[in-house]
Amino acid sequence: MNWSWLRADERGSITVELAILTPVLILLLGALVLAGRIQTSASSVEQAARSAARDASLARTPDAARAAAVAAAARELATTACAATTVDVDTSGFSTRIGQDGIVTATVSCTVSIADLAVPGLPGARTITAQATSPLDRYRTR
C-alpha cells in the first residue's frame, strides 16, 4: 500500500506550528527574565534594608544614623536595576534613656524599571519595599 499521500498532506505543518509557538515562547522568556529581575532586586533591597538598619544602630545621634543608613543603602543598591530609591529611618529609639532598649528601623524602597522587557500587559515599573530593625546598645550614651 502506498502511504505517500499521507506524507504529502503534512508538508509545511512544522512551519505553521513554529509560527504559532514562537510568540508563546517569546512571552515565556520575557516572563522568566521579569521574574529573575524582580527576585534579584527584592533580595538586594532586603539586604540594603538590613545594612541600613545596622549602620544606623551604630551611630551616636539620630542625624548621623539617618546619614549612615542612606549611605549603606546606596552602597548596597549601587549595582542593581533600581531606577529610584528612598530610605526612611525611624530613630525614635534614640530618645530612650540609658539602660532601656531602643531600636532603629530602616525602610528601603526601590523602583525597578521593567519597561525594557517589551512584554505586553506589564506596567513600566515596580516598587519593591523592605524593612529591617536593629537594636541599639542599651548602655551606650545616646
3-class secondary-structure state, position 66: helix
Taking residue 36's Cβ as centre, other Cβ atoms within 10 Å add up to: 10
Whether 4 maps to a domain, the answer reads no
Please give the DSSP secondary-structure letter assigned to residue 94.
G
- CATH number of 53's domain: 3.30.1300
Compute the distance between CA of residue 74 and CA of residue 94 in angstroms, rounded to an integer: 23
Whether 73 maps to a domain, the answer reads yes
3-class secondary-structure state, position 77: coil
Whether 121 maps to a domain, the answer reads yes
* Residue 5 confidence class, pLDDT cut points 50, 70, 90: low
Domain count, the chain: 1
Choose the most confident range, by mean pLDDT, from 24-28, 76-80, 108-112, 134-138: 108-112
Instruction: Note whether 109 and 86 are within 8 A (CB).
Output: yes
Whether 142 maps to a domain, the answer reads no
Whether 3 maps to a domain, the answer reads no
H or E, element range at 105 = strand 103-113
Compute the distance between CA of residue 129 and CA of residue 101 in angstroms, rounded to an integer: 26
Tracing cell 548602655 back to the chain, one arrives at: 139
Q: Which three cell numbers stand for residue 76?
A: 548596597
Compute the distance between CA of residue 63 and CA of residue 87 in angstroms, rounded to an integer: 13
Please give the DSSP secondary-structure letter assigned to residue 60.
S
Domain of residue 38, residue span: 12-135
- 71-126 pLDDT, tens digit each: 999 999 988 878 889 999 999 888 767 667 789 999 999 998 887 776 666 777 88
Instruction: Note whether 104 and 57 are within 8 A (CB).
Output: yes
The pTM (predicted TM-score) of the whole model is 0.76
Whether 1 maps to a domain, the answer reads no
